[in-house]
Amino acid sequence: MEAGPHIPIGASRPETPSRAVRAALVHDWLTGMRGGEKCLEILCRAFPDAPLFTLLHDRGRMSPTIEAMTIQTSPLQRIPGVLRHYRHLLPVMPLAARSWRPEGVDVVISLSHCVAKSVRVPPGVPHLCYCFTPMRYAWEGRAAYLDGWTGKPVRKAMAGAALDRLRAWDQATARGVTQFVAISETVRQRIARCYGRDSRVIPPPVDTAFYTPDPTTPRDGPYLCVSALVPYKKLDHAVTACSATGRPLVVIGSGPERARLEKLAGPSVQFLGWQPDEVIRDHYRRCRALLFPGEEDFGIVPAEALACGAPVIALNRGGVAETVDHRTGWRYDQPGPEPLCQAIEAFEAAGRPHDPFLARRKAESLAPEVFHDRIVSLIDEILSASPTIPGPHVPIRPGPRRDRRRPSDRIAESA
């Protein structure tokens, strides 16, 4: 739905100062629409005239809303073939980020899991960082990154030294952030541990208008995994658990792990590869439960499943522990195929305890308009304590209007 006319921040909140806002947005790279880009998309709707700074832009891969922004890339964009191997350029990304120089703005908003938070802001301008996680390669993902150099001790030592420098740089640039916002309590704790900074928690949005239950569809399908097929997702735990017991499992997603996973799989496991959102939604609506064996910063896939009324069986680590409980699914404490298998058996033995209406209501607390209102309210709060930079202002566009009845209520009324 098209957003309504522009209004200043705080127009619906007379208790806070109303003001129109000139903002600059910063995002690590624009190479595909994933969870982070969906957060960015909402901010692009709120600030349609803001400049958008990024390391790289793969044109045509983003949503129309993002593609319509004034996008300013770094010198990395000019390297031939960079979009195929940009992740290998991690050591030079801090230098490339120095090219970001927003000017004439009231606030800078970075969305960061790598270098976006290092943006240089004008003196006196507040900087809000929506942090997906502290730089993964220097902190939580350091060991996995160095494992790639196993068997090459000299290169591994050099890579370790480079990561040490990146970690020191990452800590130093955290001092340029006025307010951190974490995507989950898990990430809030990481920010405190890595940067020594407190942060607010605002979970990322879930498209609850698209991911909805269908009361006419019976929940009699197979178990389901929806994921990129990469090692840290631990899809091998689900494939092994279901193959050993003959439970039906559908795996949706693509990635370098597919060949290995197919070798592990028994006849009860089916790989569908990449699928469009409509197909994924249909599987959310029909599956016995979503299996989520990995540890994630937040876990957008379980939230989408909950929005469709599906139960979730998840490892009790990371952000998913904040969205799934024994009323909306099942959690288990130790990673591995056997603990997952035991969780599935316990879930089934308990008669699949699961409240689809509660699952839906949990997801509705993560709706895009909720995210919009919370992040805009925080920006208003930050600006209320900051002097306004003179000049023409761009008002924030409000979030979409919505039917205030919960879809779960509407479903219950029609049942």
- Residue 390: the pLDDT is 38
Residue 55 is assigned to a structural domain of this protein:
yes
Same domain assignment for residues 79 and 122: yes
Residue 246 sits in a domain of what CATH number? 3.40.50.2000
- Assess if residue 18 is contained within a domain: no
- CB 243, CB 264: distance < 8 Å: yes
Are residues 325 and 250 located together in one domain of the fold? yes
Q: Residue 403 pLDDT more than 50?
A: no
The arithmetic mean of pLDDT across residues 66-82, rounded, is: 95
Same domain for 260 and 146: no
Are residues 201 and 264 both part of a single domain?
Answer: no
Domain hosting 282: range is 223-364
Same domain, 117 and 186: yes
pLDDT digits (tens, 9 = 90+) for 239-287: 999 999 999 999 999 999 999 999 999 999 999 999 999 999 999 999 9
Q: Give the pair of three-digit tokens for residue 107.
A: 């606030």
CA distance 147 to 274: 28
Does 12 map to a domain? no
Residue at 15 is within a domain: no
- Is 288 part of a structural domain of the chain? yes
Decide: helix, strand or coil at residue 206. coil
Average pLDDT over residues 204-229: 95
Query: What pLDDT score does 347 carry?
Result: 94
- 67/199 same-domain check: yes
Task: For residues 34 and 150, state if they share a domain.
Answer: yes
Same domain, 306 and 261: yes
One domain, residues 376 and 336: no
d(CA 341, CA 238): 8
Q: Please compute the mean of the pLDDT values over residues 3-7 and round it to a whole number.
A: 33
Residues 95 and 77 in one domain: yes
pLDDT at 402 over 90: no
Residue 413: pLDDT band (50, 70, 90) is very low
We report the CATH number of the domain holding residue 52 as 3.40.50
Counting residues of the chain whose pLDDT is more than 70, the rounded percentage is 86
Mean pLDDT value of segment 136-148: 68
Average confidence (pLDDT) over 301-314: 96
* Rounded Cα gap, residues 325 and 403, in angstroms: 27
* Total number of residues shown for the chain: 415
Task: State pTM to two decimals.
Answer: 0.82
Whether 214 is in a domain gets the answer no
Residue 104 CA to residue 193 CA, distance in Å, equals 34
- Structurally, how many domains does the chain consist of? 2
Specify the pLDDT at position 150.
67
Average of pLDDT values for 183-209? 96
In terms of Cα–Cα distance, which of 410, 392, 375 is closest to 129?
Answer: 375
Computed over every residue of the chain, the mean pLDDT equals: 86
**Interatomic CA distance for residues 374 and 384, integer angstroms:** 15
pLDDT at residue 10 above 70? no
**Ranges 17-21, 62-66, 393-397: which has the least confidence:** 393-397
Q: Which of 358, 326, 330, 321 is nearest to 203 (CA)?
A: 321
CA 129 to CA 236: how far, in whole Å? 34
Question: Mind listing the pLDDT tens digit for each residue in 18-52?
Answer: 358 899 999 999 998 888 999 999 999 999 999 99
| Residue 349 one-letter amino acid | A
Cross-strand bridge partners of residue 251: 225, 271
Q: What is the pLDDT of residue 351?
A: 81
Work out the angle between the directed axes of helices 300-307 and 356-364 (0-180°, nearest 10).
Answer: 120
Percent above pLDDT 90 for the chain: 72
Asked if the model's pLDDT at residue 405 lies above 90, the reply is no
Say whether 112 sits in a helix, a strand or coil: strand
Q: Say whether pLDDT at 6 is over 50.
A: no
Tokens for 292? Answer: 């989520």
From CA 319, how far away is CA 159, in angstroms rounded?
29
**412 within domain boundaries:** no
Same domain, 83 and 39: yes
Q: How confident is the model at residue 408 (pLDDT cuts 50, 70, 90)?
A: very low
Assess contact for 334 and 353: CB atoms under 8 A.
no
Does residue 413 fall inside a structural domain?
Answer: no
User: What's the Cα-to-Cα distance from 261 to each of 148, 194, 236, 270, rounded to whole Å?
Assistant: 19, 34, 6, 11
Residues 122 and 189 in one domain: yes
